[in-house]
């Protein structure tokens, strides 16, 4: 597990990134991150529970353990920046501000789901919240994200795009293809490798000749940085610098987030590829929520009671989402044939 | 012995070219590797180098001459010590050099001009679109290549969000010259050369479409789009449905599809049936230049992902195209030739084969109706059924393979919906069920020929 020490890879040709000294986040900001991370964890735990009850079907990939990555990155974005990710996507939607009820109802395959029950866990979208999926094919979010960035540049905005993918996807050919074009055309995209150490059951060391994934841009003259993805403040700091660099027109960047997922790849993971002790050790020593909680409790004006109140509030939101997702009806059979193609005059 | 310099074949489909310029004069010494002339084809201007040593003895075809057939003598090189008297024999004999055994693109019947379009003997079925454009429309003669270019240029003028990306579309002016001039007209922001990375740039195109742009992604040929098919299907075709109608990918994937000439198995596949199977995709495959233009414009305006299958052998063929704005609706077939005895249905170059077959059949007293599908998804089933109701016999023609092909689909639909109208089994004429061979004779055997279509039509007429 990476320590908090940051590693960076800067191509010789690139200038040093401007070092801004970001001011320490105030307590209110910290509480905001805490709340977001807690919402994600409680939501995912509940999703796991509903899956076990047979209310969620198919694949269900939980984000528990990785919360700091998406919360830290989302905090760096402006209103016209865009996000795209893989199939481990519930957290990204919640962080983007999409309704937990709508997300949970999609997981249960109901009419009030964000995709009317037709997309499921891996396929939700919201152009209103600048969230572009939710993609089930490993690696697909990378060229698609670069395409969103192409559009940002084409439309002369200064918007940036976060394209998330995993350590497994980083070995995909289309990822290498996209790195090349993104740098060639200086696209405003940040490639975020959520390195949770395992592609399904295959560890990075067993799948990647170069295990330092932030170096993957070297052949394409893309700078990379390795970040402690269990520390939301480290993520935010690195993310903010990358976003500023990208927004200034300096082209793509790679952020490798060293993180860990506590649960299996999906719900049907036999967990034979790692020990229970390994998981337990990370939970005890590196948990992103506990880490932030400890920082917050050192601040003045916040006590256990305040955090407990927040816990209760989050629990209510998640319970309401779960109830909504079970009460919502199944989609009308007529929905089978809707939204296949847009009518020409639409 | 004097050496003849012949018109070279510079591409698999070139049959003639222009001697643009002589760079050596009569009497000049030439050495192997010297550029002696520039040849212009419909795709590019290329230099020809001497492979021999000697003196340019005669320029047989002066510069500026158009339509010089491949393999005809354009100049003569005299070897050391040879005099002018050596010239005489060469030009005469070498003109008789047999043409290479390559199948030239079949001569296509001249497209009937709109006003002369013969009317169907019976009242035309309501669903059919007999005329390509209304009688009296002002037209000009354009190649399919020019029509496609014009379609893109017009739509790029009309909508700033339309852009073209692909391999060699910009500075090279298009691998098949389809995008000729677009870089000059619209600049590098909108006409973008990509690296040779189909999977990556197809995905980028889809992402740009999610964000509201209108990309045209050119594949040098659809054979290479197999590397990108994940994004065409998983990322483009399925998104509207998966998002419950919230997000779509208005994008055109276009390029030449199907067999060209003598490029063998990996460069000669028809993908119409592959893409036609996918809900969420619209699949267009035009035959004439007017349809190429009108359908490509409609495809660019369409809010869905459209796979636009062109044909390299049709690029150089000329047709009448309406001047000015010309749109053809997607999903409507066209009766290219009305008839009453048997229906021949196809798309793309197969329409040409069917029209030729119809002429052969006419000589035998069989009046064939030819339907140009124009779009293979959604299939214009009504036009096919109306025609079958009239002729009671149906032959499908395609350059794709037989198994699960377009013809197989049409046969199934007609079986389900017009069984009682049939007087004979629906018969398919397709490419043979083999990878396309290189040898000229085997290639010809593997691909559907007009004679095959005529024979199939006769068999369903029990003649």
Please count the residue pairs, one from chain A and one from chain B, whose beta carbons lie less than 8 angstroms apart: 150
Short-list B324, B320, B388, B357, CA closest to B131 = B320
Taking an 8 Å cut-off on Cβ atoms, the answer to whether A181 and B248 are in contact is no
pLDDT at B9: 83
| Interatomic CA distance for residues A235 and A233, integer angstroms | 5
- What are the helix (H) ranges across B44-105? 87-94
Bridge partner residues of B49 (DSSP): B35
Nearest to A181 among B197, B212, B282 (CB): B197
pLDDT band at A274 (very low <50, low <70, confident <90, very high): very high
A126 torsion bin: left (phi>0), alpha (psi -120 to 50), beta (else): beta
Taking an 8 Å cut-off on Cβ atoms, the answer to whether B231 and A117 are in contact is no
Q: How many helices (H) and strands (E) does chain A have?
A: 11, 8
Digit-by-digit pLDDT tens for chain B (463 residues) are: 788 888 888 777 788 889 999 999 999 999 888 889 988 887 777 888 888 889 999 999 999 999 999 888 999 999 877 877 777 666 544 444 444 444 444 444 444 333 333 333 333 333 344 567 888 889 999 999 999 999 999 999 999 999 999 999 999 999 999 999 999 999 999 999 999 999 999 999 999 999 999 999 999 999 999 999 999 999 999 999 999 999 999 999 999 999 999 999 999 999 999 999 999 999 999 999 999 999 999 999 999 999 999 999 999 999 999 999 999 999 999 999 999 999 999 999 999 999 999 999 999 999 999 999 999 999 999 999 999 999 999 999 999 999 999 999 999 999 999 999 999 999 999 999 999 999 999 999 999 999 999 999 999 999 9
CB contact set of A317 (below 8 Å; sequence gap of 6+): A39, A100
Bridge partner residues of B319 (DSSP): B142
The pairing of strands B45-49 and B35-40 is antiparallel
- Taking contacts as CB-CB distances below 8 angstroms, the residues of chain A near B201 are 143, 177, 181
Q: How far is CA B343 from the centre of its chain?
A: 23
Per-residue tokens: A299: 């601040």
pTM: 0.88
- Taking contacts as CB-CB distances below 8 angstroms, the residues of chain B near A124 are 243
| Interatomic CA distance for residues B50 and B31, integer angstroms | 7
Q: How far is CA A213 from the centre of its chain?
A: 17
Q: What is the 3 state secondary structure string of A61-130? A: CCCCCCHHHHHHHHCCCCCCCEEECCCCCHHHHHHCCCCHHHHHHHHCCCCCCCCCCCCCCCCCCECCCC
- Is B288 within 8 Å of chain A by CB? no
Radius of gyration of chain A (CA): 20
Short-list B73, B62, B51, CA closest to B20 = B62
Taking an 8 Å cut-off on Cβ atoms, the answer to whether A82 and B197 are in contact is no
Taking an 8 Å cut-off on Cβ atoms, the answer to whether B210 and A148 are in contact is yes
| Residue A29 predicted with pLDDT over 60 | yes
The CA angle B284-B143-B311, to the nearest 5 degrees, is 40
Taking an 8 Å cut-off on Cβ atoms, the answer to whether B213 and A82 are in contact is no
Q: Is the peptide bond before B194 cis (omega within 30 degrees of 0)?
A: no
CA closest to B378 among chain A residues: A341
Burial of B118 (0-12, 13-18, 19+ CB in 10 A): exposed
Class level of CATH domain A25-200+213-327: alpha beta
- Mean model confidence pLDDT for chain A: 93
Nearest to B203 among A140, A338, A346 (CB): A140
Looking at CA atoms only, how far is residue A334 from chain B in angstroms?
A: 13
Taking an 8 Å cut-off on Cβ atoms, the answer to whether B246 and A123 are in contact is no
> For a pLDDT cut of 70, what percent of chain A falls above it?
94
Tens-digit pLDDT profile for residues A293-325: 999 999 988 999 999 999 999 999 999 999 999
| Interatomic CA distance for residues B280 and B250, integer angstroms | 11
Looking at CA atoms only, how far is residue A265 from chain B in angstroms?
A: 22
pLDDT at A20: 56
What value of ipTM does the predicted structure carry?
0.91
| Interatomic CA distance for residues A89 and A299, integer angstroms | 32
- Taking contacts as CB-CB distances below 8 angstroms, the residues of chain B near A184 are 195
Looking at CA atoms only, how far is residue B435 from chain A in angstroms?
A: 27
The residue with tokens 């003639």 is: B16
Residues of B annotated catalytic, as ranges: 198, 267
pLDDT at A22: 58
Q: How far is CA B211 from the centre of its chain?
A: 32
Collapsed DSSP state (helix, strand, coil) of residue A41 = helix
CA distances from B98 to A272, B19, B79 (A): 71, 21, 24
């Amino acid at each position: 597990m990476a320590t908090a020490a940051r590693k960076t890879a800067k191509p010789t040709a690139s200038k040093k990134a401007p070092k801004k000294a970001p001011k320490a986040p105030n307590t209110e900001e910290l509480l905001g991150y805490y709340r977001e991370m807690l919402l994600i964890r409680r939501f995912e735990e509940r999703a796991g529970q509903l899956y076990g009850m047979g209310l969620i079907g198919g694949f269900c990939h939980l984000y528990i353990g990785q919360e700091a990555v998406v919360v830290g990155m989302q905090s760096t974005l402006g209103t016209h920046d865009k996000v795209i990710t893989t199939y481990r996507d519930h957290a990204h939607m919640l962080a983007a501000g999409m309704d937990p009820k709508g997300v949970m109802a999609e997981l249960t395959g109901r009419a009030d789901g964000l995709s009317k029950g037709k997309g499921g866990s891996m396929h939700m979208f919201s152009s209103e919240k600048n969230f572009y999926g939710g993609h089930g094919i490993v690696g697909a979010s990378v060229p698609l994200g670069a395409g969103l960035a192409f559009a940002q540049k084409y439309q002369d905005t200064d918007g940036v795009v976060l394209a998330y993918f995993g350590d497994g996807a980083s070995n995909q050919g289309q990822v290498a293809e996209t790195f090349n074009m993104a740098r060639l055309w200086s696209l405003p995209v940040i490639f975020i490798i959520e390195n949770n150490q395992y592609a399904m059951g295959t560890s990075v060391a067993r799948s990647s000749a170069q295990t330092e994934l932030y170096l993957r841009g070297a052949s394409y003259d893309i700078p990379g940085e390795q970040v402690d993805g269990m520390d939301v403040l480290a993520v935010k700091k690195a993310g903010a610098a990358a976003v500023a660099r990208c927004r200034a027109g300096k082209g793509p960047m790679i952020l490798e987030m060293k993180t860990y997922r506590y649960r299996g790849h999906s719900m049907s993971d036999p967990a034979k590829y790692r020990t229970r002790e390994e998981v337990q050790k990370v939970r005890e020593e590196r948990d992103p929520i506990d880490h932030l909680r400890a920082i917050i409790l050192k601040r003045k004006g916040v006590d256990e009671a305040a955090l407990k109140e927040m816990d209760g509030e989050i629990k209510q939101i998640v319970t309401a989402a779960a109830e909504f997702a079970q009460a919502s009806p199944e989609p009308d059979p007529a929905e089978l044939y809707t939204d296949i193609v847009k009518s020409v005059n639409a | 012995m004097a050496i003849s310099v012949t018109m070279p074949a510079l591409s698999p489909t070139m049959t003639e070219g222009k001697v643009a310029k002589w760079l050596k004069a009569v009497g000049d010494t030439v050495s192997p590797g010297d550029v002696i002339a520039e040849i212009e084809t419909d795709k590019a201007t290329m230099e020809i180098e001497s492979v021999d040593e000697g003196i340019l003895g005669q320029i047989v075809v002066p510069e500026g001459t158009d339509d010089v057939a491949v393999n005809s003598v354009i100049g003569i090189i005299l070897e050391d010590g040879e005099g002018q008297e050596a010239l005489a024999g060469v030009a005469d004999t070498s003109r008789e050099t047999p043409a290479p055994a390559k199948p030239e693109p079949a001569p296509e019947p001249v497209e009937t001009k709109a006003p002369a379009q013969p009317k169907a003997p019976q009242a035309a079925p309501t669903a059919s679109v007999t005329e390509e454009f209304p009688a009296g429309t002002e037209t000009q003669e354009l190649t399919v290549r020019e029509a496609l270019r014009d379609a893109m240029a017009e739509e790029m003028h009309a909508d700033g969000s339309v852009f073209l990306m692909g391999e060699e579309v910009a500075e090279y002016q298009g691998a098949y010259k389809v995008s000729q001039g677009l870089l000059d007209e619209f600049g590098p922001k909108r006409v973008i050369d990509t690296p040779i990375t189909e999977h990556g740039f197809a995905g980028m195109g889809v992402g740009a479409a999610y964000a509201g742009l209108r990309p045209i992604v050119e594949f040098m040929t659809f054979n290479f789009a197999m590397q990108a098919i994940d994004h065409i299907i998983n990322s483009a075709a399925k998104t509207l449905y998966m998002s419950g109608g919230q997000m779509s990918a208005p994008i055109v994937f276009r390029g030449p599809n199907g067999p060209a000439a003598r490029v063998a198995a990996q460069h000669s596949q028809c993908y119409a049936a592959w893409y036609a199977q996918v809900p969420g995709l619209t699949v267009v495959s035009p035959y004439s230049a007017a349809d190429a233009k009108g359908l490509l414009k409609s495809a660019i305006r369409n809010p869905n992902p459209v796979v636009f299958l062109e044909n390299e052998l049709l690029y150089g063929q000329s047709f009448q195209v309406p001047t000015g704005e010309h749109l053809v609706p997607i999903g409507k077939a066209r009766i290219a030739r009305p008839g009453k005895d048997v229906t021949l249905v196809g798309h793309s170059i197969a329409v040409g084969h069917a029209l030729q077959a119809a002429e052969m059949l006419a000589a035998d007293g069989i009046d064939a109706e030819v339907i140009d599908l124009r779009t293979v998804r959604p299939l214009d089933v009504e036009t096919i059924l109306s025609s079958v109701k009239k002729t009671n016999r149906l032959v499908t023609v395609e350059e794709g393979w037989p198994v699960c092909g377009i013809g197989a689909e049409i046969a199934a639909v007609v079986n389900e919906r017009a069984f009682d109208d049939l007087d004979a089994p629906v018969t398919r004429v397709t490419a043979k069920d083999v990878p396309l061979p290189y040898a000229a004779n085997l290639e010809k055997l593997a691909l559907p020929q007009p004679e095959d279509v005529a024979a199939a039509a006769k068999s369903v007429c029990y003649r």
